[in-house]
Amino acid sequence: MSIKSTVLGFPRMGSDRQLKKLVEKFWAGKATEQELVEGSKQLRADHWALQKQHGLTEVPAGDFSYYDHVLDAAFAVGIIPERYQQLDTAGTQAYFAMARGLQNKSIGIDVPSLEMKKWFDTNYHFMVPEVADNQKFVLHSTKVVDEFKEARALGYTARPVVLGPVSLLALSKTAKGSSTKPLEQLASLVPVYVELLGQLAAAGAEWVQMDEPVLALDLDAAVYKAAFEQAYSEFAKIDGLKYLLTSYFNRLGENLAWAATLPVHGIHLDLVRGSDDLDTALATIPEDKIISAGLINGRNIWKANLGQQLAVLNKIISARTPGRVWVSSSCSLLHSPHSLQPEVGHLDEETLGWLSFAEEKVEEVATLAAAAADPTTVQAKLQVNAANVASRKSSERITRPAVQQRLAALDRSFYTRKAPFTERQTLQRAALKLPLFPNTNIGSFPQSAEVRKARAQFRKGALAEAEYTEYLEAETRKCIEWQDQIGLD
C-alpha cells in the first residue's frame, strides 16, 4: 500500500533568509529585477529538492511569494486598484507598491500600500485586496502556471496551489467609493479562474490544491454554499483536472455537510486544529473522494507525537478505499521556521530533540506515510520520536511536579469569584479612576530615522552597548510622556 505524502506549502524565505536579503537588495537598487527572478527560481528549486530528499511523493508549486500569497492571487486576476495603474503593472513596480507603498518625488509618485490584516489567528498578516464596483477581472499573471512548469521541468511530481475565488473575495474589502460587496462579483471572477485552471491542465497538472480557508469560519450557509457551488460547478467542466478542497486552522464544523457535496475530488482536513471533525468526516465525505489528513502541525515548533498520529491515520485508512488517503501538514509550513540545522551547537541536545521546524516536519509527514504502509521500514525513527516526545512530557523544564500538585489540589471554589461583578466593578473604578470610555493604544511605535541610525552605529561598533541602551530608554520615555501629554488614559 502506497500513501501520497505532501505538505500544503513550504516556507519561502530560505534557510538563511535568502529571499528577504534578495528582495531588500532589489528594493535598494542593488539587484536587478532579473537577478530577483533568477535568485527566487533557484530558491524554489532548492526547496523542492529538500522536500523530495526528505521523502515527499508530491510537492506544492505556486506557494512561493515575493511578499504575500493573497496579494499574488489578487494581482493574478487583475485586482489592481486605480491608484497603482500609473505604475508598471507588467513587472514588479505596481506589485511592490501594493505591498509596501511607493514614494518617489523624482517621478511624482506617492501611493500608500494596501491595508494589512491578520491571517486568521496566525501571526502572519496579508495584504487586503480592494474590489471596486464592476471590477474588471482579467488573467494578469500566470505565476502559478510558470512555477508548476518549473517544478515539472526539474522532474518533480507537483501540485499547483491556488487561493480559491470564494476565499479571495471573502477576504477582500470594498474599494473606497464603491458599494458592492466583493463576493457579489463572484460570477465575473469565475471565468478568469477557469482560464487559469485551463492553463494548468494544458501544462500537465493532475491535481490542483484549491485553498478555501474561509471554510473554517462560521459562514452563512445559504450564501456560501451557493457561492461555492457556482464556482466549483464551472471548474468541474475542465477536462483532466482534479481538485483538493483545502481549509485549515480549524474544523469545518457545520460547513462540512455541504462542502462534502461539492464537485471536487478530495477534501483536506486540519486534524490538528479540527480533530473533532474526523468521525463526522468519515461518515460524510463520499467514498470516491480523497481525504487529505493534515496530521503534522504546520504552525508550531514541536515534534509531533508520531505514534499518536499514526493511530489516527490508520483509523482513516481502515475506513476508506486503499489509495484514497493522503498524509499532509495541517496547513502550510509557511508559519514554521525553516530548519533546525542552524540551531545545532547553539541549543542543547535535549531541546533539539523536542523541536521540529519546516524541514523536520516534512520528514515527519513522510515518516507517517511510510509507517502506515510498513512500520518496520521506519521503526528506528518512530522509536526516537517516542523517546523525544516522552522526554519533553516528563522534563521538569516543561512540567514541574510541584506546580502539578498545586493544580491538582485546587477545588471548584478556586474558580468562583468571591464577589459579584457589580461589587468588583465599583472597586475597580475607585482604584483606577478611569473615565467611562478609557482610551489607549497597543504600542509598537514606528522606529524613527534617528533610532535606525543609532542601531546601525551600535551594530558597527561605533556606539557602545551602554550608550545604545541609554539612548533607547530615553526614546522610550519620550514616547510614554508624549502619550500622557496628549491625554491617553
pLDDT at 304 (0 to 100): 98
The burial of 72, by beta-carbon neighbours within 10 Å (0-12 exposed, 13-18 middle, 19 or more buried), is given as: buried
pLDDT at 123 (0 to 100): 93
What's the half-sphere exposure (Cβ side, CA atoms, 13 Å) at 223? 13
CA angle centred on 9, ends 366 and 26, rounded to 5°: 135
Residues 210-262 pLDDT 10s = 999 999 999 999 999 999 999 999 999 999 999 999 999 999 999 999 999 99
User: Residue 175: is its pLDDT beyond 90?
Assistant: yes
Residues 248-304 pLDDT 10s = 999 999 999 999 999 999 999 999 999 999 999 999 999 999 999 999 999 999 999
User: Residue 125: is its pLDDT beyond 90?
Assistant: yes
> Among 37-41, 177-181, 374-378, 478-482, where is mean pLDDT lowest?
478-482
The burial of 254, by beta-carbon neighbours within 10 Å (0-12 exposed, 13-18 middle, 19 or more buried), is given as: exposed
User: 524613527: which residue's cell?
Assistant: 448
pTM (2 d.p.): 0.86
User: Residue 322: is its pLDDT beyond 80?
Assistant: no
With cut-offs at 50, 70 and 90, classify the pLDDT of residue 107. Answer: confident
> Among 26-40, 191-205, 359-373, 404-418, where is mean pLDDT lowest?
404-418
With cut-offs at 50, 70 and 90, classify the pLDDT of residue 54. Answer: very high
The residues, any chain, with a CB within 8 Å of residue 269's CB and separated by 6 or more, are 252, 277, 278, 281, 291, 292, 293, 294
With cut-offs at 50, 70 and 90, classify the pLDDT of residue 126. Answer: very high
pLDDT at 418 (0 to 100): 87
pLDDT at 446 (0 to 100): 81
DSSP letter string, 133-188: TT--------HHHHHHHHHHHTT--EEEEEE-HHHHHHT-EEPTT--S-GGGGHHH
User: Residue 443: is its pLDDT beyond 80?
Assistant: no
With cut-offs at 50, 70 and 90, classify the pLDDT of residue 489. Answer: confident
Task: Please state the rounded mean pLDDT for residues 398-424.
Answer: 90
Residues 474 and 401: their CA atoms lie apart, in Å, by 43
Q: What are phi and psi of 117, to 5 degrees?
A: -140, 150
Longest dimension (CA), the chain: 71
Mean pLDDT for the chain overall: 95
With cut-offs at 50, 70 and 90, classify the pLDDT of residue 108. Answer: confident
